[in-house]
Structure 1
Amino acid sequence: MQSIKVFASLLWALNVQAKHVWRYNMTVTSAWGEMDGHGRPKYYINGQSPGPLITVREGDEMEVFVTNSLAIETTMHWHGVYQVDHPWNDGVPGVTQFSIQPRDNYTYRWTAQNQYGSYFYHGHFGPAFADGMRGPIWIIPAESRERPYELISDSKEDLAAMKKAEENPRHIVTSDWNAEGMDILLIQYRDTGFAPWCSNSLTLNDRAQTYCHSARDIEDAGGPDRNDLGCIYKVPGYEFTNPLECEPTNPPMEVVQQQEREDWVWINFIHSGAHHELSISIDEHEFYVVAADGEFVSPQKVNQINVNLGERISILVKMDKSPKDYAIRLTSLSPQQIVQGIGLLRYHRHGGHADATNTTVPLTKPWVHLNGTLISENSKKMNETALAPFPARPPPLHSDTTLKFIVKMTGPSTWVLHSSPHQGFRQSLPPVLWNFDSRGNTTYGSPGTMHNGSVVDIIFENDQQVTAMHPFHKHNMKAFIIGMGEGGFPFDTVEEALGHEDYRKNFNFHDPPLRDGCRLNEGAGAWTVIRYQITFPAASMLHCHRIHHFGSGQQVVLLEGVESMAPVPDEVRNMVHADFIPPVSSHDQFGVFLNAELFDIQAFEPAQLFVCNIFPIMAILEAVINRSIGLTHVLLTIALLYGGVLLYRVYFSPLSKFPGPKLAAASSWYEFYYEFIYKGGSQFAFHIDELHQEYGPFVRITPWEIHVNDFRHYDSIYSFQLHHDKPEHLKWRAGQPNSVFATPDHNLHRRRRAALNPYFSKSRVASFAPYIQERLNSMCQRVQREFAGKEKVLNLGDMWGCLVADTIAHYAFHREYNWVNTAVNFQCPLLEQVDVFADIMDTVPHFPVIGMVLYYMPPWLIRIMVPALSGAMDFLNEIESNVNRIKSPDFKPLQGENQNIMYELYHSDLPDTERRQARLVSEGLGVVSAGLETSKTALERATFRILNDPAVHKRLKDELTATWPDTKDAAPELSTLEALPYLTACVEEAFRLAYGTPTRLPRVPREPLTLGDRVIPPGYMVATQALTVMHDTEVFPNPMEYIPERWMDPVTHPNLKKHLVTFGKGTRVCIGQQMAYAIMTLGIANVVRRFDLTLFETDRSDVDLVRASFKPRPKKGSLGIRALVQDVVV
């Protein structure tokens, strides 16, 4: 028995000492990214951003195989990780390795030795980390580590819950996100000296929203003149900030989800940003700081923490508040910009899951102002100088070597540590580990001067001409931050400074912080001293983590104990890189596609089917004509083939697992029946809601499409972050396949959309408001002149149509059509053409060939075959002549004409293919036609709803009269009207019941799309129709009723706004929504305030949605919304 015990003990000891190897594969790629709804190229790791979590247990080994699929070089650095036994794996090009070439790979190996906690990895070639090449690392602390939890609570339940929280940490990688790629901004900085301070947003795990600040916000936060992004323009004493125009976005926010029976939550905040030091707080929650840069510290109970660039702060949050969502606030502490990022801490009992999207900032009480200062003097801020290691660990008492670095600038955009700047080309030279002289005089130490085991002091001091703050990061060994001060450091060593009382008080040798970074504060003469012991040999980078400082020379290499370093292995020195792998050929791609899809004919869109199948059909017909096969055989073959296709669709298609009618799965004729036959047509949208009642939240409605009525998934279907395409065959629906609205491909759509976005920003539309008001004045004068008190029936839809057509046509082309004054009885000819065209276009989703034929058919032939479209052809000719005129080298714009959309698009930096005539004509027609019918419908139905409810009408008129007492005076400005609560509520409710496009606008995911426990395979369509969302009785009780008051409740308003999908969401959200709001707000205010109208032979059946096609339609035979103008109000 004794021998068995001894043998078991030996086995246990061997097991304890054995190291486990954790292996990971990483592939680095680049693609279009939309972290905050604003797209630009960015980096991905394994298709993720941030990259996947790397976990390793303390004492174990790590092996990461990195493949570079970029078109440029790269490396991967393990930020804060000790390279104890593999110094050539620190991931610094030109220091520890050659860079990884495109299509090449590199295997990193390191041991998590004598360290634990939160770290991260990021690209170290150029500014890659600032453009998304980053991800979290979690080194699981050994059980033998002493934890500081008993300093927080002596409750056994709390101690167990805190240990459980440590075992399930949440990792929040924070950053700042700029409108331009960081390489572009660095070139701008080097060329001009203008620092790239102005960020679009602050991100949590690469999720963010862009918030535009009001003048009141800016004033309250203080500081110099700023734009609505919170950026200073040009202020003496500060570096330049790019003045960008703010474009608000509201993609989903990052959610930290409490799990069931989770009383404490551990969160690692990992700041991988480029510019901004952050204040981080959680509304209404105190929390404990328990670790800094990975290692345990004496806990601090605080409301706010500071996290500088490259730092990690770990906190424990007790989940003891009311179960709901609380805002996690990132607030910049940089004086150059007022900017904030928001995430959510979600309680389990509040419902929902971590993958449930949320775009609304909760109405919880914050701890900080927009400028990062605490709101209450009783609130507690983390003291970073008091983050003492736990257990206590004093620094060495004396140093053996002192390095003093004076931070200065030798040019407008050149930074140095002491003598000279690091030169970027050196990262392509043989690494320092190969040749200690390869970095020139930016290498400090040499074999025999900084011995292994010796203690080093580094003194940082700002030159008298430097005022900036510098967050330094030291690779490999952590260092004690033993002193900080201001006013210069006129000594060569710490020992000399300790002889002066004024300096001695600035040092801490008892319990200083132990970090892998340190701060050199703002101000000329600011100084910081760190002390560390060289515990293993390495060639370690030391640099500022502000990207434009680091990228402009502020970095050095420290040769630490290199005389004790093991030789670089031959397999590393002489590494045979991977063979170049050429891209898959088009033939190979087709073969892979066929194998993956099992010849699934439904993977093609209907328009593709038409093209792909016409050739075998023609071959069969040719065989019949030549009598080489009999007609009976042909018919039998076709029947068998079609039967096989139907069988496959119903039982073997990737969508066959979704519930729904078998007929819908088998054939699109099921949809056709409801769209064109049942009850006169346009009934499929209503039938979809009936199907959900029978089959649940996911229903297969066609062979190619899934419809979802669970709003939790709406932001994933219509996403700012995921790259979904539009079905190819729908590009013909609007008759202009080259317009941004019709563009199927996500990336091409983003490029085209980006060129148009500036012209539809809120500020641009606001500057156009005076023209809208001028058109309204003309319209109202005509109504007064021709209809007031004359018992003459006014068709409100026609009246609004003229206003909208005048406004949008002028905005697009800077041409005066003056339909509000010249159209007979307000019957705008352009609107009549749009109505005719809309009827035809409703057939295109089922028969794309109709759209194709109409697009390619000569206008003269269209006039003969479809006379009703003659007016549309006239307008098209006018657009073409305008485009030709603008393109002419002799063109001289009329006053203001250089501000119209067509002119600016042609003179933009779009490639020539995007500025050709057909493209510009498509874009012009698309801009006009997209806004005409939807805005006109919303206005006429809003007017009916207001006139039809005396209480609503009276309350709105009273509010308008209080703001605009005398209509002889000029109408209030748009900003004044937008501040009226009841008018705003009337507008929001009107847009809800206007629907925009009530039917579905399907998307085609490029990758598998996970929606809860369901996965939509790539290449198939998925949608949620607006009709379903805005008739949700749980969100909008009595959804068919017009109730503006529902928008007045500040508690429910955010949820209602989230469900208002009239304009869609995601990357394809309606580009003209700001224009629509402006026209609606000004239009309703003018007509309701100026006139007393009574409805004429008009009732709910003239507005209620009974036919849902691409546009909402009332009953057949409706004469529209008609009224009598009883009087003019003064």
Structure 2
Amino acid sequence: MTCVDVRDTTQGLSCVACQSKSKTRHYDLALTWEYGAPDGFGRKVFKINGQFPGPTLELNEGDHVVVHVKNLTPYSTTVHYHGIEMLGTPEYDGVPGITQKRIPPSCSFTYKWKATQHGSFFYHAHSDSQINDGLYGPIIIHPASTTPVPYQLITNSSKSLAAIKLAETKRIPLLLSDWRHITSDYEWELSQKSGVETPCFDSMLVNGKGKVICLSTEEQAVLITANQQMLLGFVPGSNLTDKSCLPAPVIATRAAPGAPAPNFDIIPANFFYGCTETQSSSDVIKITQETIADETWAMFDLIGSLALQNVQVSFDELTMYVIEADGNYIEPQAVHSLLITNGQRYTVVLKLENPRRYTFRVSGISDPQILFGTAVLDFKIKGTNQSTIPTVPYINEVGVNTTGAVVPFDFAGTKSFLPQPIPQAPDATFKMTMRVDGQVIYWAFNETILPLNYDDVRPPLLFAPQPDRQDNHTITIHKNNTWVDYIMMVPGVQPAHPVHVHGRHFYVLGSGEGNFTWDTVEEAAAAVPESFNLVNPPLRDTIATPFAGPSGSWLAIRRPSDNPGVWLMHCHIQSHIQGGMSMIIQDGIDDLPAIPAEYGWTC
């Protein structure tokens, strides 16, 4: 089979028209810092090849990938390939201080890796919180012809199966983003000076488009959640701001005892207040069926390129068949709404029959703010009139079901498609505590923060690993081809922390409320078997700890250490990772691969 690879040299795009034998695909990404107005409000943003979000890297499973990044911005940066395991190439993981030095302005760096996986991924900056300024774009990896797919669990119809396979070749990425009108470096500067996290945003974007929506006090009252009411109760007399955000004094109540008092005078009023609606257009996804006789299915990659929010998503009046989570096939679920955590990706297929404009809803469910947005799925059949009747939503602006008939995605019931057996006992177990470290802007993983200047004060750790290091910042696994359990414990009232692990995906074994009082998963599973799945757990690279009430919560994952390298485990909330909520895993430290001679940036 011949694969048509159309290169647009101005955009650095590669359109894979079909699947074929593996080949080497080259991408050129030019990073710039220029004016943009994603939601109708102008500010400086990162653009990639002149566009925001960046161009899609589309390739096939088995391909070799070469990405040449030229940094034309005034900031040093790196590019991380989120969810790509980098088997045998840890030096191209794109984490400053761990696998490389930042790329200085006017310099270039070339990343090289092999697409050993398939599914939905994305690339983004891993320096400071530059992802909040637009430095990200989607990655689509089409499965090899020999890769088993779960489509037959959706339908037995040969026509439908053929239509789904066609939809896979035309899969559409939808990047979901919470957007601010201030730059990330200014936000972090003010957070450090004030001692208060500023979790308010201005809009929700779909593929880089959206608008500012302001709610009246009456509209807020209808939508406010029980958790938001509880948090507002910590500061009597407080209310949501006109941005529908928790005010700064409420955010500050999460500080640890004895922390310095926050300086509210430093925080500009527009960080929490000052909502002005805009009329920027929503993203419109156009799908046209040529003839009435053929079935039309569409495949979407829903990508949580979010800074803070967790979102509930839904297509009005359409059923989503969820077939993939974080690039791993699952047994399909037919649902109406789907919860996506910061950093996660889900692939869904939809059957389209009635020509009309369907609303795609993205509703934030995170406590600090009521934030939502929409896009339009414009389905037409040539020669047929399109209905003008508005579609009926399954969820409201805060992700709550509109009727009892709405079927949400069942994470607890998620099963891997053709699961691989995992050992029933790991080679090692590590327990870690996630918490606020004094001021609200600092967050600890394993009791302490990873120093904020870690990546600037020493060579990348991959080049100078520390084989005897076993401390609050670092877990060292000497022996390759072992299995390790990681237990995340979240004491006290805290938000859900989306934990992302580089280098190798992991199995989600279980989670629960309260303290994890056992020494191992096996002990815990014997005591509370209903909290665990040790038979066919889902394989993920990003998973959120449960929301922690006063008694806390916990999360247990099992991960193979069979890809030697130095990797990062961190919360994917950008203000949390910038505030120190990261850990280092030195994996298979005795078998690290050699660094290529051509490695490094050029100026």
The TM-score range, normalised by the shorter chain, is 0.7 to 0.9
Contact 2:489 2:555 in 1 (8 A): yes
Deviation at 1:232, TM superposition (A): 2.4
Query: 1:491: how far off?
Result: 2.2
Structure (1/2) with the larger strand percentage: 2
Q: Is residue 444 of structure 1 aligned with residue 486 of structure 2?
A: no
Matched-pair contact (CA < 8 Å) for 2:312–2:364: yes
Cα separation, 1, equivalents of 2:113 and 2:45: 28
Q: Deviations over 1:1046-1102 (max 9, x none)?
A: xxxxxxxxxxxxxxxxxxxxxxxxxxxxxxxxxxxxxxxxxxxxxxxxxxxxxxxxx
Note the 1:982-1001 alignment, pairs <5 A. none
What SS does the aligned partner of 1:456 have? strand
Give the alignment of 1:701-1100 within 5 angstroms: none
Deviations 1:908-932 (A, max 9, x none): xxxxxxxxxxxxxxxxxxxxxxxxx
Cα distance change, pair 18–350 in 1 and its aligned pair in 2 (3 A): closer
Cα gap change, 1:371/1:238 in structure 2, threshold over 3 Å: closer, same or farther?
farther
**CA shift at 1:207, angstroms?**
0.3
Give the match's secondary structure for 1:95.
Answer: coil
Greater helix share, structure number: 1
Which residue of 311, 327, 332 maps to 1:278? 311
Match of residue 42, structure 1, among 45, 49, 67: 45
CA distance in 1, matches of 2:284, 2:589: 45
Partner in structure 1 of residue 63 of structure 2: 60
Residue 462 (structure 1) aligns with = 490
Letter in 2 for 1:346: D
Distance 2:40 2:197 in 1: 24
> In 1, Cα distance between the equivalents of 2:296 and 2:218?
39
* Structure 2 counterpart of 1:296, one-letter code: Y
| TM-score computed with the length of structure 2 as normaliser | 0.87
Which of residues 85, 89, 92 in structure 1 aligns to 2:95? 92
Q: Distance in 1 between matches of 2:123 and 2:306?
A: 13
Cα pair 1:281 1:330 within 8 Å, conserved? yes
Q: Show the counterpart of 1:1090.
A: none
* 513, 534, 541: which one aligns with 1:516: 541
Amino acid of the structure 2 residue aligned with 1:29: T
Task: Name 2:357's counterpart in structure 1.
Answer: 325
Contact 1:231 1:242 (C-alpha < 8 Å) held by counterparts: no
CA contact (8 A) 1:324 1:349 kept: no
Mapped to 2, the partners of 1:498 and 1:36 lie a distance apart of 48
C-alpha contact (below 8 Å) 1:189/1:548 kept by paired residues: no
Deviation at 1:362, TM superposition (A): 8.2
Tell me if structure 1 keeps the 8 A contact 2:61–2:142.
yes
Tell me the secondary structure at the aligned position of residue 265 of structure 1: strand
CA distance in 1, matches of 2:126, 2:250: 32
Alignment of 1:64-79 (within 5 A): 64-79=67-82
User: Does the Cα contact within 8 Å between 1:385 and 1:512 map onto a contact in 2?
Assistant: no
Q: In the alignment, what sits opposite 1:51?
A: 54
Instruction: Quote how far apart the aligned CAs of 1:334 are.
Output: 0.8
Distance in 2 of aligned mates of 1:343 and 1:168 = 19
In 2, the alpha carbon distance for the partners of 1:443 and 1:335 equals 29
2:370 is equivalent to residue 338 of structure 1: yes
Q: Which runs of 5+ in 2 are unaligned?
A: 1-18, 230-238, 256-263, 265-269
Q: Which residue of 2 aligns with 1:347?
A: 379
Counterpart residue number, 2:9: none
Equivalents in 1 of 2:148, 2:21: separation in Å?
A: 22
Match of residue 481, structure 1, among 508, 513, 536: 508
For 2:84, the equivalent position in structure 1 comes to 81
Instruction: Name which one, 1 or 2, has greater alpha-carbon Rg.
Output: 1
Specify whether residues 463 and 76 from structure 1 end up closer, same or farther in structure 2 by C-alpha distance, changes over 3 A only: same
> Shift in Å at residue 463 of structure 1?
2.4
1:368 to 395, 399, 407: 395
The DSSP-based 3-state class of the residue aligned with 1:82 is coil
Whether the aligned pair in 2 keeps the contact of 1:324 and 1:350 (CA below 8 Å) is no
Per-residue Cα deviation, 1:914-958 (whole angstroms, up to 9, x for no partner): xxxxxxxxxxxxxxxxxxxxxxxxxxxxxxxxxxxxxxxxxxxxx
Q: Contact (CA 8 Å) 1:325, 1:350: kept in 2 or not?
A: no
Alpha carbon RMSD of aligned pairs, Å? Answer: 2.3
Q: What runs of 5+ residues in structure 1 fail to find an aligned partner?
A: 1-15, 353-360, 580-1130
Q: Return the TM-score normalized by structure 1.
A: 0.47
Name the CA shift for 1:351/1:370 in 2 (closer, same or farther; >3 Å).
Answer: farther
Structure 2 counterpart of 1:230, from 244, 247, 265: 244
The 1:328–1:238 alpha-carbon spacing in structure 2 relative to 1, beyond 3 Å, is: farther
Over the matched positions of the two proteins, sequence identity in percent amounts to 30
Q: How does 1:555-704 map to 2 (within 5 A)?
A: 555-572=582-599, 575=600, 577-579=601-603
Q: Deviations over 1:840-875 (max 9, x none)?
A: xxxxxxxxxxxxxxxxxxxxxxxxxxxxxxxxxxxx
The structure showing larger relative contact order (alpha-carbon pairs under 8 Å, at least 6 residues apart) is 2
**Residue of structure 2 in register with 1:250 after alignment:** 279
Deviation at 1:331?
0.1
Deviations 1:253-291 (A, max 9, x none): 111111324610000011111110000001111111111
The answer for the alignment partner of 1:505 in structure 2 is: 530
Q: Aligned-pair distance for 1:199?
A: 1.0
Separation in structure 2 between the aligned mates of residue 163 and residue 403 of structure 1, nearest angstrom: 42
Note if 1:415 corresponds to 2:443.
yes
State the distance in 1 between where 2:454 and 2:82 align. 21
Aligned counterpart for 1:129 among listed residues 102, 118, 131: 131
The alignment status of 1:208 with 2:217, answered yes or no, reads no
> How far apart, CA to CA, are the structure 2 residues paired with 1:250 and 1:540?
43
1:762-784, CA deviations, whole angstroms, 9 ceiling, x for partnerless residues?
xxxxxxxxxxxxxxxxxxxxxxx
Whole-angstrom distance in 1 between the partners of 2:421 and 2:545: 22
Shift of 1:238: 6.4
How far apart, in 2, do the equivalents of 1:307 and 1:212 lie?
A: 23
Asked if the contact 1:442/1:557 (under 8 Å) is kept, the reply is: no
Give 1:505 deviation, angstroms. Answer: 2.2
Shift of the 362–340 alpha-carbon distance from structure 1 to 2, 3 Å rule, reads farther
- Cα pair 1:386 1:513 within 8 Å, conserved: no
Q: Structure 1, residues 761-816: CA drift from partner, whole Å, max 9, x if none?
A: xxxxxxxxxxxxxxxxxxxxxxxxxxxxxxxxxxxxxxxxxxxxxxxxxxxxxxxx
Q: 1:28 — aligned with what?
A: 31
- d(CA) in 1 for partners of 2:583, 2:254: 26
Which amino acid in the other structure matches residue 444 of structure 1?
T
Are the aligned partners of 1:83 and 1:538 in contact in 2 as well (CA < 8 Å)? no
Is 1:426 the counterpart of 2:460 in the alignment? no
Contact in 2 for aligned 1:443/1:559 (Cα 8 Å): no
| 1:308 alignment partner in structure 2 | 341
Deviations 1:816-860 (A, max 9, x none): xxxxxxxxxxxxxxxxxxxxxxxxxxxxxxxxxxxxxxxxxxxxx
CA distance 1:24–1:488, change in 2 (3 Å): same
Question: What secondary structure is seen at the aligned counterpart in 2 of 1:424?
Answer: coil
Q: Whole-Å Cα distance in 2 between the matches of residues 106 and 312 of structure 1?
A: 27
Letter in 1 for 2:367: P
Amino acid of the residue matched to residue 459 of structure 1? I
* Contact residue 541 and residue 555 of structure 1 kept, 8 A: yes
Cα deviation code 1:525-567 (max 9, x no counterpart): 2000000112321211100001111100000110111211222
Aligned residues: 546
One of 547, 558, 565 as aligned partner of 1:531 = 558
The aligned residue for residue 191 of structure 2 is: 189
Residues 342-388 of structure 1 show CA distances to partners (whole Å, capped at 9, x for unaligned) of 10000123899xxxxxxxx9832111122211011111001122221
The alpha-carbon deviation at position 451 of structure 1 amounts to: 1.9
2:8 maps to which residue? none
Alignment partner of 1:289 is 2:322: yes
SS in 1 for 2:359: strand
Q: CA offset at residue 211 of structure 1?
A: 1.0
Cα distance in 2 for residues equivalent to 1:186 and 1:197: 11
